Amino acid sequence: MSITELLILVAVGLLSGVLAGLLGVGGGIIIIPALVFILGLSQHQAQGTSLAFMLPPVGILAVWNYHKAGYINWQFALVLAITFFIGAYFGSRFVMQIPDRVLKKIFGILMLFFAFKLIFSK
């Protein structure tokens, strides 16, 4: 893993952690597109790596299947797990100051952005 990859993973982990704390999203919405579009992982690798860093709450059997197929980058998963943990803490502290109606709009915009990105990317 290069220094650039490490810095990107730290940023993605913190951002997804903050968004998880703020909006209840992170792994599938932030990390998978970042792993595919920024770090160049395949969709399978991104999904496997995302599941690996969320191993305990998601389920070991799904991770085991991705691992057997060779679709997990364990170094990426470890960095993301640590930084996601930190980001989620700060995001959840910050969100308490945002009114519910504003939070719903932020969540909706985020979902639309990634939906369009996934639909219209090559």
Q: What is the pLDDT of residues 37-54, one digit of tens each?
A: 899 988 788 877 877 877
Check pLDDT > 90 for residue 4: yes
| Alpha-carbon distance values, 55 to 40, 52, 98 (Å) | 22, 5, 30
Higher pLDDT, 96 or 112: 112
How confident is the model over 75-101, as a mean pLDDT? 86
How confident is the model over 17-31, as a mean pLDDT? 75
Tell me which residue range forms the domain holding 66. 3-120
Which residue, chain included where needed, has tokens 């085991």?
64
pLDDT at 89: 85
How confident is the model over 76-105, as a mean pLDDT? 85
How confident is the model over 92-97, as a mean pLDDT? 82
Number of domains in the chain: 1
